[in-house]
Amino acid sequence: MTTDSSAPESGLSRRKLLGAAGLGALAAGAVGAGAGFAIGDKPVEVVPDPDALPIPFEGKHQAGIVTPAQDRLYFAALDLTTESRGDLILLLKEWTEAARKMTQGNDVGEFGAVAGSPFAPPEDTGEALGLPPSGLTITIGFGRGMFVDGKGKPRFGLDGKLPDRLKDLPLFSGDRLDDALCGGDLAIQACANDPQVAVHAVRNLVRIAFGRASVRYSQMGFGRTSSTSSAQVTARNMLGFKDGTANIKAEDAKDLDDFVWVPKGDGPDWMVNGSYLVTRKIDMRIEIWDREPLEGQEAIIGRTKGSGGPLSGGDEFDKLDFKAKGEDGELAIGKVAHVRLAHPDFNKGAKILRRGYNFVDGSNGLGQLSAGLFFIAYQRDPEKQFVQIQRNLAGKLNDVLNEYIVHVGSGLFACPPGVTTEGYWGEKLFA
Amino acid sequence: MTSRFSFPAVGVLTLAALTLSACASDGTASGALTVKASDSSCNISSSKLEAGPSTFKVTNGGSKVTEFYVYAEGDRIMGEVENIGPGLSRDLVVDLPKGTYEGACKPGMIGDGIRETLTVSGEAAKKLSDSEELTAAADSYERYVKSQSDALIVKTEEFVAAVKAGNVDEAKTLFPIARTYWERIEPVAEKFGDLDPITDGREPDAIAEGVDFTGWHRIEKQLWVSNNTKGMDKYADQLLANVKKIVKLGQDAPLTALELAQGSKALLDEVATGKITGEEDEFSHTDLWDFKANIEGSQAAIASLRPVLEAQDPELVKDLDAKFKLVDAELNQHQDMTTGDWKFYDELTKDQVKKLSDAVAALSEPISKVAAVVAASA
């Protein structure tokens, strides 16, 4: 495969071809295959379980960005504990090899989980044995800390390689960031339709990294809150609302070029065809939100809870009319409604590709749900995109939603372009 | 074994057999094999394999979803990979002992599949018997155990005497020092199932088992929580008697080289589970004494095995040396170089504990590979 072929796109076209209905039919077919083999004398044609089709690992861009969002996430941010450039390069090579195998549904290592020496720990941890690839994608990103230390001194001989756009995100009004949930030198985003497969991927990469990198924090996510393809229905967040209706979709080629992929001349060459990843752990005050009347909830968001249609009228995908007024003569979509403040029209045209997941980390000691959104967004220029939009949203006086949410974790990572069949993640950075 | 080919694809099979015999003339295959599966054939790149792990790279060139199995006599499944869609490939790694097997492709994932006989020859891992080198390693470690055991008895006697004399301060000073010798050779003690818990057991386990809480930690609790030695005489006497018993048993049945390799890892597991969490010495917080002693014990085991490891895997030795150095660097900053005393564990910051944990994890990975290297050298 050449660098020009695009893995995520080929993965997509498969899904696109099938459409949402097609996927359903496929799933039904797979059930049939497991249950019985023949009806009467006629053998039933067995179709592959969609989860058995691996998503190509190699390509122009990393998979896991415009790939139709899978159901589950396991995300980890790591700190590099080595200072050796050789160690780091070797780590990225070993990670690439392991990811190449795991995304195609294979075990890590030469002998995998069960065929190695009985006296040695198995190379693969084994919990994904017998499971299909499950749409696994593994996407990695480099944090600012990989390029410079706390005093701005270059690390790993990466002088002059730090992209201008990889600067710390500003503090936004209302942020209550916990240092332990922020930053990281490396990020691993593993998405799959089976949480076991996603966890297996991160666990094995973390294991490979022992002695070179150590986990700073990790996060499980479920119920994708964004659709990244028009073939997918819009999912709901923990507030019960459809989230990401107006998201950039894989089919919007122009939007992807304008807002997601880093073009030539947009910073260091090694980032061309890469993207910048912003993560935010957003705690939700679930119980308080649940006590809010429906009308209030809808006014805060600016959409109806049922169909997701804008309060200015119409169905989910209808255009938002920010000038429309209700019977009471007030704006239908209020001045501080979430959809208005987040909309490109009020953010100098800025859009982002969102790929977030819901999370529940059990309950806090007061019997409240420790739940929220692990927000993930990909973009070309964080300052002009995420930061622009978040400035508009942040602060109690702006987005009324802020009474119900609080940002506690934050990360910004430069995700390098995809790899070739022989290449490794970040190869151009170390060339 | 009876063949149970369910597809009347004789022509294809004959062809496959010819191809196979051509491959076989090059000798037996080991390592990677390719399986070309189609809707009507199952072409394995060699029918003769070497015992041990083999990788079958199964590529589905057919139009139906397929799966690939390796069966032993009586259709016992040795390994399988399912759900390989058209045009896709997946790997199956199976460890096959000497014998006759069948590889089976199942286009459409139904039926008995298209089968090929696989003959596995040679011997897999040899039965472990200690070579001269391994015997030398075990002997070397035995000498280490002897030196540590002698000191352990002396220091335990001193500790027990202080406890029985009601000398709380002296007992508190001696407690972590005597334990150092214990912790260095802990894999020896752990060999003797009954004695380890009554000597080094922990309070929650004693409660759960409904037995008397005894040993080092019983006295530790009295010293640090009650700040006296009341009622400790019997526990002190029992401790000394059991320590002596363990030392005697250990000298009568020294560890084999493989046990030694496993012991070097077990000592680090001790650190990772008991010391990093600060739960081993929950009353005295003298965990860093134990921590260091476990590391030293592990290092001593590796030192004894060094000639074997150097011969088999010099890269691993380099890695181990480097990682031991890192642990020491992280650990030693918490020791007072004049008195030799360590910081109490509750004085460490979360960040310092994380750094220790990272260093131990970094060392534990290469250490976990030592036993297989030792086994392979037998």
- What pLDDT does residue A330 have? 93
Do the Cβ atoms of B365 and A211 come within 8 Å?
A: yes
pLDDT of the residue at A42: 59
Residue A41 pLDDT grade (very low, low, confident, very high; cuts 50, 70, 90): low
Q: Mean per-residue pLDDT for A98-120? A: 91
| Average pLDDT of the residues of chain A | 88
Higher pLDDT, A23 or A258: A258
Answer yes or no: is the ipTM higher than 0.85: no
Torsion sign, CA atoms B130, B133, B139, B140: negative
A–B interface: beta-carbon pairs under 8 A: 98
Mutate to test the interface with A, among B67, B105, B358, B373 (most CBs of A within 10 A): B358
B187 vs A120, residue with greater confidence: A120
User: What tens-digit pLDDT sequence spans chain B (378 residues)?
Assistant: 333 333 333 333 333 333 333 333 333 445 689 999 999 999 999 999 988 888 899 999 998 889 999 998 878 888 888 888 888 888 888 888 889 999 999 998 888 899 999 999 887 555 455 578 888 888 889 989 998 999 999 999 999 999 999 999 999 999 999 999 999 998 777 776 678 889 999 998 889 888 999 999 999 999 999 999 999 999 999 999 999 999 998 888 888 888 888 888 888 888 888 888 888 899 999 999 999 999 999 999 999 999 999 999 999 999 999 999 999 999 999 999 899 899 999 999 999 999 999 999 999 999 999 988 888 876
* A223 touches B: beta carbon within 8 Å: no
Task: Write down the pLDDT at residue B277.
Answer: 86
Per the CB < 8 A criterion, the answer to whether B326 and B365 are in contact is no
Contacts of A211 in chain B (CB under 8 A): 323, 326, 361-363, 365-366
What would the two tokens of residue A324 be?
A: 């429309």
Residues of A in contact with B368 (CB under 8 A): 120-121
Residue type, A187: A
User: DSSP states of A3-39 as a string?
Assistant: TTS-HHHHHHHHHHHHHHHHHHHHHHHHHHHHH-SEE
A105 contacts on B by Cβ (under 8 Å): 90
Contacting residues of A for B65, CB less than 8 Å apart: 33, 46-48, 52
Contacts of A53 in chain B (CB under 8 A): 85, 88
3-state secondary structure chain B: CCCCCCCCCHHHHHHHHHHHHHHHCCCCEEEEEEEEECCCCEEECCCEEEEEEEEEEEEECCCCCEEEEEEEHHHEEEEEEEEECCCCEEEEEEEECCEEEEEEECHHHCCCCEEEEEEEECCCCCCCCCCHHHHHHHHHHHHHHHHHHHHHHHHHHHHHHHHHCCCHHHHHHHHHHHHHHHHHCHHHHHCCCCHHHHHHCCHHHHHHHCCCCCCHHHHHHHHHHHCCCCCCHHHHHHHHHHHHHHHHHHHHCCCCHHHHHHHHHHHHHHHHHHHCCCCCCCCCCCHHHHHHHHHHHHHHHHHHHHHHHHHHCHHHHHHHHHHHHHHHHHHHCCECCCCCCECCHHHCCHHHHHHHHHHHHHHHHHHCCHHHHHHHCC
* Per-residue pLDDT at B24: 32
How many residues in chain A?
Answer: 431
pLDDT per position as a tens digit, A267-297: 899 999 999 999 999 999 999 999 999 999 9
Q: Are A411 and A187 in contact (CB under 8 A)?
A: yes
Does B53 contact chain A (CB < 8 Å)? Answer: yes
Give me the pLDDT at residue B19, please.
33
Instruction: Give pLDDT, residue A26.
Output: 40
Of A81, A107, A211, the CB nearest to B93: A107
Reported as a single tens digit per residue, the pLDDT across A182-229 is 999 999 999 999 999 999 999 999 999 999 999 999 999 998 877 888
Residue A47 has a pLDDT of: 64
Residue A122 near chain B (CB below 8 Å): no
Tokens of B318: 């380099």
Tell me the torsion sign for CA atoms B23, B25, B28, B30: negative
> Does the beta carbon of B77 lie under 8 angstroms from any beta carbon of chain A?
no
CA of B132, closest CA in chain A: separation in Å? 20
B63 contacts B39 by C-beta, under 8 angstroms: yes
For B140, phi and psi rounded to 5 degrees? Answer: -60, -45
8 A C-beta contact, residue B94 and residue B53? yes
Sequence-ordered list of residues with C-beta below 8 angstroms from that of A423, at least 6 positions apart, any chain: A58, A96
Q: Is A56 on the interface with B (CB under 8 A)?
A: no
Instruction: Indicate the range of A39-43, A167-171, B180-184, B330-334 predicted with least confidence.
Output: A39-43
Asked if A104 has any chain B CB less than 8 Å from its own CB, the reply is: yes
Q: Rounded distance, CA B191 to CA B250, Å?
A: 8
The pair of structure tokens assigned to B106 is 């199942």
Give the H or E element holding residue A379.
strand A369-379
Residues 265-324 of B with CB under 8 A from A: 323
Mutant choice from B66, B83, B312, B358 vs A, greatest count of A C-beta within 10 A: B83
Segment 235-264 of chain A within 8 Å of chain B by CB: none
Q: Among B99, B55, B92, which Cα is nearest to B76's?
A: B99
Residue A44 has what pLDDT?
Answer: 60
Mark yes or no for CB contact B83/A49 under 8 Å. Answer: yes
Which pLDDT score is estimated for B156? 97
